[in-house]
Amino acid sequence: MDVRPTAPIVFSDLKAQVQAPFRYRSDGVCGNASGGGYGGPKLGEKGREQGLAIGLDLASSREWFNENVMDVETMSIVTGGTVKTSDAYLINGEPGDLYPCSKEGYTNPYETDVVLVAPGQSTDVLLTADQPIGSYYMAASPYETVTTPEFRFDNSTTTGVIVYEGYMSSTPLMPIMPHPYDTPTAYRFSSHLTKLVKGRFYTPVPRMVDEHMFMTLGLGLIACGKKETCSGPLGQRFAASISNYSVEFPSKLSILEAHFYNVSGIYNATLPNKPEKPFDYTNPNDALNPELLWTSKSTTVKKLKYGSVVQIVFQNTAVLAPESHPMHLHGFDFHVLAQGFGNYNPKQDRKKFNLRNPPTRNTLSVPKLGWAVIRFQANSPGAWLLHCHLDIHITWGMLTVFIVDNGAKILFTLALIWLASATEFKDDKELNTIVQTQIREDD
């Protein structure tokens, strides 16, 4: 988690409010992390990436568009004209008080003193400075789900300091932090976020699903080379997989280039919609089951029709080292319909789907020994990565690629986007219905 600046934040008004985007990074430069982080609550965003968490940094000034920036750029390419004028400029992700901007958020208000930020996630927090005048730590510590001895983590705490103006003591008060294995607290936060239906950027959940996918997530093993010495379990190499497909990137040509130029032999588009070998996914007795431990490397992807609606059930498994996997999808936001523990049961768990106001994210931490269901529309052609946001799991192979074909009606959809900017529709649902109807009629 990145909490800045290092100098204390001073409040001169006890009722002052500060909106602070928290951003968790897990990368090789800043240090790997094997779990999420607790912070001291995602509203979402439609513009370009926001800047620093707290504080003034003119280098993070950006433009803001009241629509998807990719649609703005694509429309320019289609029409041959320039891009539309931005709707505002931002400093630290905020437009200031000179723009007629709506103050409505993206999620319904949710009051909490603990925030879960998984690797790859961003979360906006609205903090009310209404405590007694004093000095307070804002702290972040790891939330860990792996209990296997081979996986160790840095159980330490990073802090920022909030100081009220006029307070002289140099000793900040420390909040009570959750235990690093406090799954109930983590689940309570992640499962209670809901979208603001009357918000400007509310997008309804597509009701008709074209691709139903069930993906298992877990670790496994690949054989150690004959002349190698490997330090993984049983003297083998660690691997990670989706539905037991441990994917590696091609070395000769990228997947996107191979798709665009129709080059064969670079990847195979045979990722199944469900595991080829179903089993009792969360049974701890299968942790070292030799029939489930082994996987192999390949470059296996999934092809999707442009405009198709995809629903994915992520199912974590108990194989080898069960843990929570933060799954991140490039190119799209998705609706988080439901999540829970144990094996996903379609008859019972479909009743838990939130189809009215689910949160929209691009990264979701799937509960340890549990499941989560997402739904999105594949409306952006290209090759888009789906992967676990724990960096070593990408290296080990927990990833795949969605190749979205060019749609026959992509120009029609873009024309509707342009039309929407000049036409008063009742709401986004009406526009979405028109687009979906046209796409389905052409299939």
Tell me what pLDDT residue 436 has: 60
* Inter-axis angle of helices 410-422 and 428-442, nearest 10: 160
Tell me what pLDDT residue 423 has: 52
Backbone φ and ψ for 265, nearest 5 degrees, come out as 85, 0
Backbone φ and ψ for 382, nearest 5 degrees, come out as 140, -165
Instruction: For residue 233, give Cα distances in angstroms to 47, 238, 307, 376, 429.
Output: 45, 7, 43, 37, 51
Omega before residue 95 within 30° of 0, cis: no
The pLDDT confidence band at residue 102, using thresholds 50, 70 and 90, is low
* 131-185 pLDDT tens trace: 999 999 999 999 989 887 777 788 899 999 999 988 887 789 999 999 999 999 9
Q: Are 174 and 162 within 8 A, CB to CB?
A: no
* 332-359 pLDDT tens trace: 999 999 999 999 999 999 999 999 999 9
Q: For residues 6-30, give the mean pLDDT.
A: 37
Tell me what pLDDT residue 157 has: 92
* 194-233 pLDDT tens trace: 998 887 778 899 999 999 999 999 999 999 988 889 988 8
* 21-44 pLDDT tens trace: 333 333 332 222 333 444 433 333
* 383-428 pLDDT tens trace: 999 999 999 999 999 999 999 998 765 555 555 555 555 455 455 5
Tell me what pLDDT residue 107 has: 85
pTM as predicted: 0.76
Tell me what pLDDT residue 342 has: 97
* Cβ count within 10 A of residue 306: 19
* 272-318 pLDDT tens trace: 999 999 999 999 999 999 999 999 999 999 999 999 999 999 999 99
Residue with tokens 């961003």: 122
| pLDDT surpasses 60 at 3 | no
